[in-house]
A = this chain, B = another copy of it.
């Protein structure tokens, strides 16, 4: 059988409370005592029992991560967030319980009210997301990675997609480009109400209007044919488009580059291209693309931080937007006369 705190106390010749305090560091321990306890722990390979710790300490050191992984979702990006959340949690000595699909709300309810988890990280947030409602009503420590329509009372973290869109538009406008395109996600993604594609697109259109640019929008299917069609449409019959922002999955972006190449359009000589809010590595593309990166580790570690802060204290509801950055890889150039 596994060693208990009683075994450690006996071997070390101290009381179990001393062992417990030595472990938690919640009160000062004499140097010799500490050493005896440490060697006893080593000798017995003692690991505190998680259930007992949870029961007595009212903390499980587990966070629930809810990621619905809907059929239509683009797994690599979502997986990157799950992974980032798990990694961030471990940095705080928390483990991660994975809640998927149907378990979205039922599971959240179950694991919080049974005190299986101390807090919740909500990923892939929709504009109208029942998990947001639930988190609000449950009043459990939680952070959303993403911004629902109603953020009242919630703690949300996300890349500032609006700023990212403006950054991309400004880059092109500053380069003298007059006709710019946005190659976005498949139509189903927008239809689903996923919030960041919408936020990005709206800000893109708004900024382009401010900068007095002509805008063309595309929402291609993932197939080669779909991408080809959308790109052709964005380029326009006269091929007068000179600036392209891509806010979509890597396969679509790669295909779009293929299509530009086929059409004899060079990047950046003929078309300036920017990859926006991308979780993947655009430096291996042909050609490497300028990118406004979306870094899962950033938002997830902040979300974990804020959730744990709620567990140990109080945090005011807030929406934290992470400012975007621009990585230049030479895929944009001033418009040629």
**A97 sits at the interface (CB 8 A):** yes
**A55 sits at the interface (CB 8 A):** yes
For the complex, count residues of A whose C-beta is within 8 A of B. 47
The interface residues of chain A, by DSSP majority, are classed as helix
Smallest CB separation, A136 vs chain B (Å): 17
Instruction: Give the distance in Å from the alpha carbon of A66 to the alpha carbon of B251 in the complex.
Output: 28
**A90 sits at the interface (CB 8 A):** yes
Q: Per-residue CB proximity of A42-77 to B under 8 Å, as 1/0?
A: 000101111111110000101001000100000110
**A319 sits at the interface (CB 8 A):** no
**A223 sits at the interface (CB 8 A):** yes
User: Given A55-B55, A86-B100, A90-B103, are A115 and B2 also a contact pair (CB < 8 Å)?
Assistant: yes
Smallest CB separation, A16 vs chain B (Å): 15
Q: Which residue of B lies closest to A46 (CB)?
A: B113
A-B contact pairs, 11 of them (CB 8 A): A49-B55, A50-B60, A51-B53, A51-B115, A75-B75, A82-B98, A83-B101, A86-B100, A90-B103, A223-B286, A224-B254
**A10 sits at the interface (CB 8 A):** no
Q: Which residue of B lies closest to A78 (CB)?
A: B79
From B51, B103, B113, give the contact of A55 (CB < 8 A).
B51
User: Given A115-B49, A115-B51, are A100 and B75 also a contact pair (CB < 8 Å)?
Assistant: no
From B2, B80, B82, B116, give the contact of A50 (CB < 8 A).
B116
A51 CB contacts on chain B under 8 angstroms = 50-55, 60, 115
**A124 sits at the interface (CB 8 A):** no
Instruction: Give the distance in Å from the alpha carbon of A52 to the alpha carbon of B53 in the complex.
Output: 10
**A95 sits at the interface (CB 8 A):** yes
From A65, A82, A95, A224, residue with most partner B Cβ within 10 Å? A95
Instruction: Give the distance in Å from the alpha carbon of A5 to the alpha carbon of B261 in the complex.
Output: 68
**A129 sits at the interface (CB 8 A):** no
Q: Which residue of B lies closest to A109 (CB)?
A: B47
User: Given A2-B113, A103-B90, A258-B224, are A69 and B83 also a contact pair (CB < 8 Å)?
Assistant: yes
**A20 sits at the interface (CB 8 A):** no
